């Protein structure tokens, strides 16, 4: 399967329109939405999604495209003063799972953080999401306590 990896921005209105259409079709499954962002409720509300996570400038979103269609998504927020990157909203389209696309996005995000000479990468994952936890562990993340909402915090030193 030939795919490409691009960077898009929720702050760009063109990118935002495309992402909106894409996410609307992805989040027909409430469990997927819950795993991707436990603060969201079903049915998917794009304005709430943006208001909760994309108001700051320091966020890039990496997307995997197949024939120009977005099939996977991961966002990375860089907090330069902490030398930290935070990953969130990892999602792979149902029909494109088990092909290594999540791994491809995580590896790319790690590479970007390395290029910026950051010290560590953080993320949080719902404790029921064993597949997510296992993918992050394989990528070198370790469990690092719980968030105030009881989700698992993970951290990878660079
Ligand atoms: C979790 C999720 C992102 C995984 O995406 P994915 O693209 O299927 O993940 P990958 O293909 O990179 O890896 C998944 C598994 O496939 C395996 N794999 C990778 N390449 C493969 C290949 N070519 N053939 C078969 N299996 C492969 C990986 O080793 C991994 O194995 P594991 O199940 O033992 O951990 C996806 O299921 C998803 O979007 N879920 C809903 C939202 C969600 O949970 N997001 C994470 C929030 S923290």
Nearest CA to ligand 1 atom 4: 102
113 lines ligand 1 (CB under 6 A): no
Q: What is the pLDDT of residue 150?
A: 92
Q: What is the pLDDT of residue 1?
A: 80
103 lines ligand 1 (CB under 6 A): yes
Q: Is the pLDDT of residue 74 over 90?
A: yes
Q: Is the pLDDT of residue 68 over 90?
A: no
Q: What is the DSSP string of the chain?
A: ---EEEEE-TTSHHHHHHHHHHHHHHTTSHHHHHHH-TT--SSP-HHHHHHHH--SSSEEEEEEEETTEEEEEEEEEEEGGGTEEEEEEEEE-GGGTTSSHHHHHHHHHHHHHHHTT-SEEEEEE-TT-HHHHHHHHHTT-EEEEE-TTSPEEEEEE-
Report all structural domains of the chain as residue ranges with CATH numbers, in order of start. 4-157 (3.40.630.30)
* pTM of the entire predicted model: 0.95
CA 81 / ligand 1 centre spacing (Å): 32
48 lines ligand 1 (CB under 6 A): no
- Per-residue pLDDT tens for 85-141? 999 999 999 999 999 999 999 999 999 999 999 999 999 999 999 999 999 999 999
């Amino acid at each position: 399967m030939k795919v490409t990896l691009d960077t898009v921005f929720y702050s760009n209105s063109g990118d935002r329109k495309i992402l909106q259409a894409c996410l609307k079709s992805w989040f027909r499954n409430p469990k997927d939405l819950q795993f991707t962002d436990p603060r969201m409720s079903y049915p998917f509300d794009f304005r709430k999604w943006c208001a909760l996570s994309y108001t700051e400038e320091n966020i890039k979103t990496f997307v995997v495209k197949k024939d120009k269609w977005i099939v996977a998504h991961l966002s990375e927020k860089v907090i330069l003063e902490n030398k930290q990157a935070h990953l969130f909203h990892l999602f792979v389209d149902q029909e494109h799972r088990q092909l290594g696309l999540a791994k491809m996005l995580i590896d790319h995000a790690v590479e970007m953080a390395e290029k910026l000479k950051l010290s560590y990468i953080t993320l949080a994952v719902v404790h029921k999401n064993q597949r997510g936890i296992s993918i992050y562990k394989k990528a070198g993340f370790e469990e690092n306590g719980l968030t105030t909402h009881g989700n698992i915090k993970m951290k990878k030193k660079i």
